[in-house]
Structure 1
């Protein structure tokens, strides 16, 4: 399961801006735990409309056939693999910095009971995966008009 990390920025001291900046620099993580472990975790965005929940994931450099989406016990899982572009031949260039990740990934999300798992749709274009999770009819709510007597 994915976890959310809540960060509360510490205020910069008004008495000594440099001390406050240094305190913030050491108290707030720059990298996520996934980045520090060397694993790649695609960024996602989850939003909601009256009709559906929408999950959008950034999967740059991944082929459509390398993405697997499944739902089991109301848990949506996105898995795939980003191939490494380097070859086994002797390097023609030296790398001084690389922030591009490759390898297998997997993200799982617990779905609310209001999602109609039989009608889920996914589309992939230009490295962006969009999953539409329609709501069950009873989850959309109902407006009741008040009658005057």
Structure 2
């Protein structure tokens, strides 16, 4: 006879998602690179509010002049670069371990037609790029039509 064990105490389960736990394990298993990278993919968070969407991209160390944002055919493209620290020269520091990413980046997001492309705003503060993507209030996405 087999026994089925059920954990009726969900509060004792780990709060982190399996993907983040697996990501940490794989990241820690990889050796740190001895040289800076040439490209990276910034982490993104997307929230939906009553007035539209908010998109956050983690861009620590990126100057706002180095960020380019384009919107065309309902696709939002955020690109730019973060320069690697100088490692050559007489007074340059010697790299021992590099865990952060440097170089060029590019993220593309397909947006629904309900977003007003003309009203998109962007703000870069403390390494966090915040894009506000308001809904187009003039577009009709749902309407009830009465029969006469």
Scaled by the length of structure 2, the TM-score of the pair is 0.66
- 1:128 deviates by 0.9
Q: CA RMSD in A?
A: 2.5
Maintained 8 Å contact 1:54/1:133: yes
**Is the Cα contact below 8 Å between 1:50 and 1:140 reproduced in 2?**
no
Shift of 1:92: 5.5
In structure 2, stretches of 5+ residues that fail to align are: 1-17, 28-36, 144-148
Say if 2:122 and 2:131, in contact at 8 Å, map to a contact too. yes
Could you say what secondary structure the match of 1:65 adopts? helix
How many residues were matched structurally?
A: 111
In 1: Cα distance, 2:66 partner to 2:92 partner: 28
Correspondence 1:1-149 to 2 at 5 A:
28=22, 30-31=26-27, 39-90=39-90, 93-137=93-137, 138=139
Gaps of 5+ in 1: 1-23, 32-37, 143-149
Specify the alignment match of 2:33 in structure 1. Answer: none
